[in-house]
Amino acid sequence: MKSIRLISASVCLILSCQKYSGPSNPEPLVPEQPKRLTVSPIYCVIGTAITFSDTGFHNDMYADTLIFTGNIEIHADSANATTLHARVPFGAFSGYVTVKAPNYRDSVQITILESYNPDTFAVRWYDLEDSITSDAAKIPGYYYSPTAYWSVSRSVDTITFEVQYAKYPDETRRFRILFLDHGADTLPSLLFARCTTPLVYTTGNGLLKIQDWNTSAIVSAKFFCSRSSPFNQLALWHDFRQ
């Protein structure tokens, strides 16, 4: 597995001072009198799992909205009255994150230690602390539908990932993703990525973070795209030794 690189204090300082170049008025609510809202960790990258703590959140995660600098709005992944869990979304930048619930509103600052262009798609090495595992790449079916697993094949230097599963009672999703292999521990090229629902989706803008790349051993990766993209947080994993 590609080891996580340590970021020196000087690099952190440089990245945290980068100017936002996205839409106008990117900052969410800046509190005049900050309350008790806290976030951990404060320093993160795209995809980092973060936790917000305070009192007054809603137990329904869909009622708790997080607005990041960069005009990116998501719901919490899980929630209770005192804690919200989420991942830093693609498109977010350093600055304030506003938390809104039916009877709650406050903001807190985070620093995103990752330089990227939100208007492009890029492939880079995985830089998160939580490892991608074979379990992370399993795709649960809708209610009683069976769990789906990636079918992976290799033809010369082309690696293909495919999977089909029931997302909803009336919707079947099929992913087909092709990589060009450049050798072990070298970033591959993404040749093709499509999701058919039966509408056809591509990745759009985003990041594909490669954790492992060795076609004689393990390959694993994870997509981070817009919230509306079916590729967002889609994980890939395969052991060619099996």
pTM across the whole model: 0.84
Domains parsed from the chain with CATH numbers: 9-112 (2.60.40.10), 121-239 (no CATH)
DSSP state of 61: G
List the pLDDT tens digit at each of the 242 positions of the chain: 544 443 443 444 344 444 445 544 456 666 655 568 999 999 999 999 999 999 889 888 888 999 999 989 999 999 999 999 999 999 999 999 999 989 899 999 999 999 999 999 999 999 999 999 999 999 987 777 889 999 999 999 999 999 999 888 888 999 999 999 999 999 999 999 999 998 999 999 999 999 999 999 999 999 999 989 999 999 999 999 98
What does the pLDDT read at residue 193?
A: 98
Q: Which residues of 89-119 are buried (b: 16+ CB within 10 A; e: fewer)?
A: bbbbbbbbbbbbbeebbbbbebbbbbebebe
